[in-house]
Amino acid sequence: MEFIYEPEFWVAVSFFIFVGTLLYLGVHKKIASLLDARALLISKELEEARRLREEAEKVLADYRRKLGDVVTEVDNIIALAAKEAETLAAETRQSLKDYFDRRIKLAEEKIARAETEAVREFRSVAVDAAIAAAQNLIAAKLTPDRAEKLVSESIEALKSKLT
């Protein structure tokens, strides 16, 4: 029994008493229950994280679908705007063409009226000049005997036409 005097022996005895006390007091059950509670908490947190991840994936898929819808809608809006712009441009071109055609027609009508008026004025001036020239010529060359002869010839010609 010499081993009783050895310090290692007393360390071993102390260790076993300490472990026995811990077992007697149920520390191992408390540690196990704490570890089980901790494991349950971690399990719940993992399940919550998994649920949140699935929810985030659903939200992400929804946003990607919405983004696709928005892109499609934007493309449709751009196509519609381009079509409306082309229609508006065509209408504007036609409207301008019609406007200029009307303006050209009005200008041509004004030119034709001005031309007709100028011809009428020219004829009026020419007739007045011809009458004045004829009067001057007749006044210069017509003698009273010749005038009487012309008047009687005109009356005879008129009588023959009336009968």
The whole-number pLDDT of residue 122 equals 86
The whole-number pLDDT of residue 97 equals 94
Residue 137: CA count within 13 A, CB half-sphere? 6
Percent above pLDDT 90 for the chain: 59
SS3 52: helix
In the chain, which stretches have pLDDT less than 50?
none
* Rounded Cα distance, 153 and 119, in Å: 35
Q: Which of 76, 79, 74, 71 is nearest to 87 (CA)?
A: 79
Q: Which of 67, 158, 13 is nearest to 4 (CA)?
A: 13
Q: For residue 163, what is the DSSP state?
A: -
The whole-number pLDDT of residue 74 equals 95
The whole-number pLDDT of residue 131 equals 82
